Amino acid sequence: MELGKKQLDIVILVTFFFISTLFVWKFKLNNLITTFLYLIVPSIYLLIRYERFRKRILVFALPLGIVLSIAMQYIADYNKVWIWPIDPSLPTIFTHVPLESFLWFPAWAILLVAIYQIFFDFTHSSQKPSKNYKWFIVILFGYFLAFTAWLSIGSPRVEYAYARFFALPAIGPLVFVLIKSPALVPRFFKFSLVMLIFLLIYEIIGLRLRHWAFPGEYSSLVNIFGISIPIEEFVIWIALGGASLASYFETFMDDLK
């Protein structure tokens, strides 16, 4: 029964994604509406359909999304890692933090965690957070303290900021988890492949419609369908972003199994 439900939901989600892509492209929808279609609607759908996972997903994704909304977005915009959104629909706070980020980052985290938890992680035995969850909050708090310290010393600009600020937090935990629990490699690979397809299409649409841009310094650029994407964006966010998020989830919310 559960398997049939999941198969139906996969069909619904994939169909909705491709229909949304056609609408976004045909009507040149703005960043806010695209975020709503690509991230928020599927997140709400999954949270309603799988109520038993709802608390577990939100307890992990919301704190993460809120911290990323402020700290990552500010650092990225200030250092010209990316400009997002180019034409904000909502006001900007703290100079470099558009209010859209308070929708985008939590919705991104909720959707990816929900997809991982529901469709890929079949071994969870408890809906309670792991005993490591307290360290997750400590890490988020530490990351935010480091961000405020960076602000307090005058917010110095950093060359190649994408790699220097975001590579280690994204790739380090993933490497740790895969060494500690190699049985997760096949699952993470499948999840990353699905997320790569989704995020790559999202990336190309976003750049084509000028929802965001990459004006900074990067190691190199990858050209895909005539679109230039920084190699850091392709590796850290598109190719490994799903597995990286799953590694945090497994470590701090689940059981590394």
- DSSP state letter for 226: T
Cα gap 41→30, rounded to integer Å = 16
| Ranges under pLDDT 50 in the chain | 1
How much is the pLDDT for 153? Answer: 87
Q: Which amino acid type is present at position 70?
A: I
Instruction: Determine the angle formed by the axes of helices 241-252 and 161-180, rounding to 10 degrees.
Output: 50
pLDDT score, position 70: 94
Q: Is the pTM above the cut of 0.85?
A: yes
Q: Are 215 and 80 in contact (CB under 8 A)?
A: yes
Q: Which pair of structure tokens corresponds to residue 130?
A: 């792991």
Query: 241-252 and 185-208 helices cross at what angle (nearest 10)?
Result: 130
To which residue do tokens 């689940």 refer?
254
Give dist(CA 222, CA 202) in Å, integer: 16
- Contact (Cβ atoms closer than 8 angstroms) between residue 228 and residue 222: yes
Per-residue pLDDT at 122: 82
